[in-house]
A and B are shown apart, each in its own frame.
Chain A
Amino acid sequence: MTAYINLEQVNFRWPQGGQVLSEINLSIEKNQTIALMGANGSGKTTLSKLILGLLKPTGGRVLLAGRPVESYSLAARGRLLGYVFQNPERQFFAPDVAEEIGFALKYRNLSPEKIQERVAEMLALFELEQYAATFPFNLSQGEKQRLALAAILAPRPDFIIMDEPFLGLDWLRKQRLQAILERVRNEGVGYLLISHDQALCARLCSQTLTLEGGRLL
């Protein structure tokens, strides 16, 4: 049986640049928690975008739930995988925090009561209640990071890819985010965590992968 996410002999090279990734073979189960580490520019974000089908491999193939990732529409991929961008601002578009969290829920046939309940739950979990009516761009970096995660977790995707979610968070917030991710893991939702924080990765993930010279170690 194939894993939930499968990368087979994946290569990637930018049109006018050098080789970024070479012969990547990776299988991830739905409930697996994996950390992806590596130096700046080692191709961590590129790998995550290949999994999501935002970039096309120059060689090999990426399978999602047994099918080539490009055979899904972007929206279908978004329903299976949650993606937290490295720069959280890139994923905001709603006029306020509550709407940002509830946006995806409206397109999943949930009742207005259920949506409200889920939004309230996320606002409380990420300590964003007092900002419910705030314009997302006016939040601090740490608050933006929390909102990005809340918005992605609200529709409960099968698997989450997080690109440096701890960036810009203070010690206390890191601890709280760690607790949230532990809860996510205990609920059986897997994730791929891109981070430079070795200790946090070791605590939150069952396996750590390292990218070096375009290859997985």
Chain B
Amino acid sequence: MTENHGFPDVRTLFALVLVITSLAITINDPLWLTGLLAVSLAALLAAKIPLSLLGRRLRRYRWLFLILALAQSLSNGSGRVFLEWRGYVLLSAGGLLAALAALLRITVILAAVLLLTLKDYQQMVTGLAQIRVPYELAYMVLLAVRFIPVLVEEFRNSLVAIELRGVDLKAIPLREKIKVYSYLLMPTTAGALIRSRRIAIAMEARAFRAYPRRTWLEWPKLSALDWLIIVLVLVGGAGILWIKFKGVIA
């Protein structure tokens, strides 16, 4: 089939996410990162994805952000110094800008990745196959992505199971705590291995990889608007990278 399955096509989303995340990783200038964030938020609003979803994700990783921002701030002592201790620069203008850039970068990446939630698992696999990714690889990548929330859930379950054995993780000494947390890796890793083995068997039992080629139930066509956005995004992204490497943007 070569029907059009509505705008945006999954390849348009891939292009958007690829360009936005690549720029977010490459650029350090907080002003440009703010612009990138504005574009990402506009894309989320245009796609009718509630911004509260992004807010929830940001809240979930707030401690990670704080640690990252602190690390960035401490490792960059350039510019005006605001706080110093025994010759070590603890807070400086450069450090604050680096921390701000780190926070903006993560927010941009999280916002861009949210765009992919517009499509379901099967549409993603088809999209990857359409950009010439071998279908075996496409399935593997998406299974891995699909497993991340499952692994997080398993990690949480194990944590609950440990506490239900009467172990107060807040009250035990740090060394014990590290030991207990190391225990958590065990069920999570074992669970992931066992599950992936089961899925591999189930897929092969249904003739996955039995033939070098496979047919697709749906093979959507790109609309004119999709083409326009892909071209604009790729050209725009390449242009910004060119300016960046010319040294105009930090």
Q: Given A75-B169, A107-B172, does the pair A137, B187 have CB atoms closer than 8 Å?
A: yes
Q: Are B163 and A78 in contact (CB under 8 A)?
A: yes
B158 contacts the other chain (Cβ, under 8 Å)?
yes
13 cross-chain CB contacts under 8 A? A74-B163, A74-B164, A79-B166, A83-B164, A85-B161, A89-B187, A90-B157, A90-B161, A91-B164, A104-B166, A107-B167, A137-B190, A155-B166
Given contacts A75-B163, A137-B190, contact A93 B183 (CB under 8 A): yes
Q: Are A92 and B166 in contact (CB under 8 A)?
A: no
A76 at the interface (CB under 8 A from B): yes
Number of B interface residues at 8 Å Cβ cutoff, please give it: 22
CB neighbours (8 Å) of A83 from chain B are: 164
CB neighbours (8 Å) of A75 from chain B are 163-164, 166-169, 171
What number of A-B contacts does a CB cutoff of 8 Å give? 65
Which of A115-170 touch B at CB < 8 Å? 135, 137, 151, 155
A180 interface residue, CB < 8 Å from B? Answer: no
Contacts of B157 in A (CB 8 A): 90
A56 touches B (CB below 8 Å): no
Q: State how many residues of chain A have any CB contact under 8 Å with chain B.
A: 26
Q: Is B232 an interface position by the 8 A CB rule?
A: no
Q: Which residues of B contact A54 (CB under 8 A)?
A: 160
Alpha-carbon distance A54/B158, docked complex (angstroms) = 13
- A residues less than 8 Å from B172 (CB atoms): 107
Is there contact, CB below 8 Å, between B187 and A76?
A: no
Report the Cα distance A91→B172, complex, angstroms.
Answer: 20
Since A54-B160, A73-B163, A78-B164 are in contact, a sample of 11 more A-B pairs with Cβ atoms closer than 8 Å, ordered by chain A residue number, is A74-B163, A76-B166, A78-B167, A79-B166, A85-B161, A91-B161, A92-B161, A94-B186, A108-B166, A135-B190, A137-B190
Bound complex: CA A89 to CA B191 (Å): 9
Task: Give CA–CA (A76, B170) in the complex, Å.
Answer: 12
B240 at interface by CB-CB < 8 Å: no
Query: B18 an interface residue at 8 Å Cβ cutoff?
Result: no
